[in-house]
C-alpha cells in the first residue's frame, strides 16, 4: 500500500488557471510527491486515475463516472491494485448550487458519509480566488477537513484526517481528487 493511504495529513497542489486540463500533485507536508493525477479537459465522461508518481506506471485509484452528465452523476471508486470496488460518490446537484455536497456510498450503494462544502460555492464560482473549505460528515466521528490555501497561481488544498478515523483513506483521496477536478472545471 502506498504512503498516501496511511497519512493523516497531506496536500493537493494544482495550478489555479487551467485551460487544457489539470495536473494534481499529492504531496506530504515537506513537499515530496506521494501521488499524481492528470485530468484531460473536454472529456465527455470522467475517468480519473490516481498514480503513485508522475511516470503514471502504477495506478492506485480509478474514479469513473457512470454517465456523461455530471450534474448529479455517481462516480465509482475502484482500487486499481486489487480491482475492488471501494464505493462511490454522488453529487447532490440541487444542494451543490449553493454549497457543493456529495454523498459517499459503500460498495453496495448504501450511503454512509457526506462530503460538504463549508464555504459558499455559488460565490466562489464568480470569484474563483475565494478559498474553499469542506468536511466529511460521518455520524459519531470527528470531521475530516479539506481546506484550500489562498494563492492566485497555485491552488494548495490541505487534507486533515483525525488519527484512527475509520473512513477508508483511499476513498478520502478519491473524493478529494474528484472534488478538485470537478471544481477546477467550473472555475
- Percent over 70 (pLDDT), the chain: 82
Q: Which of 126, 161, 131 is nearest to 149 (CA)?
A: 131
Write the CA distances from 184 to 17, 87, 161, 176, integer angstroms: 8, 23, 23, 12
Model pTM?
0.88
Cα–Cα distance between 132 and 14 in angstroms, integer?
14
Q: What average pLDDT score do residues 13-22 get?
A: 67
Domain boundaries, the chain: 3-186
**How many beta carbons lie within 10 A of that of residue 60, not counting itself?**
22
Reported in sequence order, the residue ranges of 31-153 that DSSP labels E, i.e. its strands, are: 33-40, 47-51, 59-65, 74-79, 85-91, 101-105, 111-117, 133-137, 144-149
Asked whether the beta carbons of 172 and 161 are under 8 A apart, the reply is yes
47, pLDDT greater than 90: no
Which CATH number applies to 3-186? 3.20.90
102, pLDDT greater than 80: yes
Q: Give residue 71's pLDDT band: very low, low, confident or very high (50, 70, 90).
A: low
Over the stretch 126-152, which tens digit does the pLDDT of each residue have? 776 777 888 898 887 888 999 888 776
**Cα–chain-centroid distance for residue 12?**
9
Query: Residue 78 phi/psi, 5° resolution?
Result: -125, 135
C-alpha dihedral sign at 86, 182, 160, 139: negative
187, pLDDT greater than 50: no
Write the CA distances from 147 to 2, 46, 119, integer angstroms: 23, 24, 10
Amino acid at each position: 500500500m502506498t504512503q498516501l493511504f496511511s497519512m493523516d495529513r497531506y496536500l493537493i497542489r494544482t495550478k489555479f488557471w487551467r485551460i487544457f486540463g489539470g495536473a494534481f500533485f499529492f504531496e506530504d507536508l515537506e513537499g515530496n510527491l506521494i501521488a499524481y493525477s492528470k485530468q484531460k479537459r473536454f472529456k465527455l465522461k470522467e475517468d480519473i486515475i490516481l498514480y503513485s508518481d508522475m511516470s503514471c506506471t502504477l495506478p492506485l485509484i480509478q474514479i469513473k463516472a457512470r454517465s456523461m452528465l455530471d450534474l448529479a452523476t455517481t462516480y465509482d471508486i475502484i482500487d486499481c491494485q486489487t480491482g475492488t470496488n471501494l464505493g462511490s460518490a454522488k453529487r447532490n446537484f440541487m444542494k451543490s448550487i449553493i454549497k457543493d455536497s456529495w454523498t459517499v456510498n459503500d460498495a453496495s450503494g448504501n450511503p454512509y458519509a457526506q462530503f460538504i462544502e463549508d464555504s459558499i460555492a455559488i460565490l466562489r464560482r464568480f470569484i474563483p480566488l475565494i478559498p474553499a473549505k469542506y468536511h466529511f460528515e460521518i455520524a459519531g466521528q470527528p470531521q475530516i477537513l479539506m481546506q484550500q490555501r489562498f494563492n492566485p497561481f497555485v491552488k494548495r488544498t490541505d487534507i486533515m484526517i483525525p488519527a484512527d478515523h475509520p473512513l477508508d483513506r483511499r476513498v478520502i483521496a478519491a473524493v478529494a481528487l474528484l472534488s478538485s477536478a470537478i471544481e477546477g472545471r467550473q472555475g
